[in-house]
Structure 1
Amino acid sequence: MTNRKMMTSTAARTVALTAIALSLAACTTVFESDKVDYKASKKAAPLDIPPDLTQLQKDNRYAVPDGKGIATASGFQQQRGAAPAIAAASGEQIGQVPTDTIRIERNGNQRWLVIKETPEQLWPQLLEFWHNSGFTVETESPQTGIMETNWAENRAKIPQDFIRRTIGKVFDSAYSTGERDKFRTRLERRPDGSTEIYISHRGAEEVLTGPQKEQATWTARPNDPELEAEFLGRLMAQLTGTKVKEATAFVTNAPLEPQHAKLEGSKVVVDEGFDRAWRRVGLALDRVGFTVEDRDRVQGIYFVRYVDPDAVKKEGFFSKLFGSEDKNKEAQKYRVIVSTAQGATSTDVTVQTNDGKPETSPTGAKILKLLADELK
């Protein structure tokens, strides 16, 4: 009898351990959900309003939108009825931005918000938004209108199975998606005092390398337009007090404009005027992973740094993604030129070296190809 009990106990332990192992093996399986949860990955530090916020330059060459690819928040409210704005159940605060002062515009898979408030008014609200979303804003540049979050993990992708719910509090650190995300927010001022807000995503994933797959290495993964739309919708929900699910659906389904860019030799030709092309080039640089050190809108110049992943060893570059002080050592400086001939209806995008000469290297051609793919 005693032996039978021992065998039963041993079998039970074996089944339990096997179940745990299977659960851990499946920890990188994508959980099909439209939710994101970065709050559990890292507690964000309190954020302060930058003292030099007023240094955001006032640009005065933006074109008035032509009405294509635009959806207004007031129209969104009419679609969902006259119900009052409701705060999200996740604890987001009631928004203070009237729905008739905010709209979503879209070009290809690029989307952005247009809000009738100044960058100075929106900056602290954006800091609060990313803090509430579970991120730390690691980089702030009011001069270029850019803030960037830390790398964080979307814990909503982890399967919520029975064992995860049962022992997750004890072994939570053993569960990981093997992916990390960070987001860059760009603010562009319009001549009427309103602001365009762009959110771009960068992703990284952990892969096993070596003869025996014994070494884990972080590599880049493509940016996710769906995640960008998700956070634009969540930002819209926080600013206006609407429900997150309805706001994100509204952003995702914004009217689509036809593509307007193509690569022609040593330049990208954008079938749009300077004002709109300038803004879209800025977003494209963010999404591709350039670091914009400065910009001169009058001359149409973005001063950027770029690391060509083919020019350095993957271990040497991606191992520095998460905080190394030397991560920019291999970065080269370039100028991205946005120009329009007088009377022309299209805009040219070219690449120059740091000293203003035409960039004719393979890296220059690669930069143009990356920009052309983003601007289509």
Structure 2
Amino acid sequence: MRRLILIVAALTLLSLVAGCSSGSKSTRNAEYRQAGTLPPLEIPPDLTSPVVRNDTSLPEISSGQHASVTDAGGQRSAVLANKSNVEVKGRGDQRWLQIDAAPEDVWNRVRGFWLEHGFELEIDEPDIGIMETRWTDDPTDRPEGFLRKLLDRLYSASSRDKFRVRLERTDDNKTELYLTHYGVEQVVMEQQVRGNEDLVWQPRPSDPELAQEMLNRIMVSLGVDAQTSSRMLAEVEPERPQAELVKAGSELHVVVQDGFDRAWRRTGIALDRIGFVVEDRNRAEGVYFVRYVDRLADAGEKAEQGWLSKLFASDDERDSVKDGEKARVVVRGDDRETRVALQNAEGAAADPRRAEMVLERLAQQLR
């Protein structure tokens, strides 16, 4: 009898539990059926996905096109809509821009220009106003379209280029923009020992036309009409200021028949062109702090000679300029004439034979 009572009690308890469970499930189902549809999740504007571009080729420039840059929110805005905000300065085959904007603002836009068109930056230092792209194959020798990045690992052009931009602040808080082109090319070198041929990289002269075309594209990205920018670049005064290497006793310097302001700018361009890195500068004191760099080191697997060893080779190894060696280039002058001299890293007079090699190359660029 007692056992029967326990069985009945257990069955009763199970029935109660089952009933509660069934009621709860029915209630949840009813609530689910009555629930409305939630609105779609909205993504804040600043978190929208950027457009991914596989095409790294430079676009064609139409006469009415005003290039722009993309800000953090994905919105595109014109940089400098008025062409009067950008002026072209220079002489001969040298060109630079004077922009009516602070260097900090110009830096961001020019940096965006390189990245937007698929260039990678090897040097990106806004504190000293210098950015430099990595070596890239000649755009005219490379395939266009989305296959370009895919073929990067397999395709190697016979020439490579890089560009260096330097920004300087003027006294009235405007910006001067200087662009320099560097180029290398592959040549066949005969191996005397093995009797076969090998491909090596060697420097090729800076291409003023290529540099001017890139400067033209930067102007368009700053809001200047393409036809206007081309005309502005072509209308620069063709004459060149005179410069010569002068020896006065133990002193050696380059005399430039131009005022300090222009000679200072042109000396910076000349240093860029002959492959020196300007690590810092003090315009008030008239000093460029430079470092000699072998720019062929990262151009290819094999190089005929380093950039500096080719430009500054000497029969005496002690006179040769070494990769990574530091020095100072001193610029002194007035409104009519300027002198450029070389000092060692400590500010003392450089070795005369070494100074002659460096200043001769500077004089060639300043003539």
Question: Shift of the alpha carbon at 1:241?
Answer: 4.9
Q: Percent identity?
A: 38
Distance 1:356 1:200 in 2: 27
Distance 1:84 1:205 in 2: 33
Q: Compared with structure 1, are the counterparts of its residues 242 and 356 closer, same or farther at alpha carbon in structure 2 (3 Å cutoff)?
A: same
- Contact 2:91–2:239 (Cα < 8 Å) also in 1: yes
| Residue type of the alignment partner of 2:306 | F
Match in the other structure for 1:337: 330
Q: Aligned equivalents of 2:303 and 2:155: distance in 1?
A: 25
CA distance in 2, matches of 1:170, 1:196: 37
Query: What letter corresponds to residue 107 of structure 1 in structure 2?
Result: R
Aligned-CA RMSD value: 3.5
**CA 1:298–1:213 in 2, change beyond 3 Å: closer, same or farther?**
farther
Where does structure 1 lack aligned partners over 5 or more consecutive residues? 1-37, 42-82, 319-327
Distance 1:302-1:213 versus aligned 2 partners, 3 A rule:
farther
Contact 1:107 1:256 in 2 (8 A): yes
**Take 2:346 and 2:213, find their aligned partners in 1: how far apart are those partners?**
39
The CA distance in 2 between the partners of 1:271 and 1:157, in whole Å, is 41
Q: What's the offset of the Cα at 1:169? A: 11
When normalised by structure 2's length, the TM-score is: 0.66
TM-score by length of 1: 0.65
Q: 1:188 aligns with which of 168, 174, 179?
A: 168
**Partner residue of 2:229 out of 234, 247, 251:** 247
1:132 corresponding residue in structure 2: 116
Q: Distance in 1 between matches of 2:265 and 2:125?
A: 17
Structure 1 residue 192, shift from structure 2 partner: 1.4
The one-letter amino acid of 2:120's match is: T
Residues 203-231 of structure 1: per-residue CA shift (max 9 Å, x gap): 11112222345322211111111111111
Determine if the alignment matches structure 1 residue 153 to structure 2 residue 132: no
Alignment of 1:1-376 (within 5 A): 39=56, 85-87=64-66, 94-157=78-141, 176-209=156-189, 210-211=191-192, 212-243=195-226, 247-265=229-247, 266-307=252-293, 315=304, 317=306, 330-340=323-333, 345-376=336-367
Between the aligned partners of 2:268 and 2:148, the Cα distance in structure 1 is 42
The alpha-carbon distance between structure 1 residues 171 and 39, as it changes in their structure 2 partners (threshold 3 A), is closer
Distance in structure 2 (CA, Å) of the matches to 1:352 and 1:84: 48
CA drift of 1:181 comes to 0.7
Query: Which amino acid is the alignment partner of residue 339 of structure 1?
Result: R
User: Which fold has the larger relative contact order, with Cα–Cα distance below 8 Å and residues 6 or more apart in sequence?
Assistant: 1
Paired residues, number: 277
Which residues of structure 2 form unaligned runs of 5+? 1-54, 71-75, 296-301, 308-320
205 and 183 in structure 1: CA distance in 2 versus 1, 3 angstrom threshold: same
Given that residues 114 and 120 in structure 2 are in contact (C-alpha distance below 8 angstroms), is that contact kept between their aligned partners in structure 1?
A: yes
For 1:153 and 1:302, locate their aligned partners in 2 and report how far apart those are by CA, in whole Å. Answer: 31
CA displacement at 1:119 relative to structure 2: 0.2
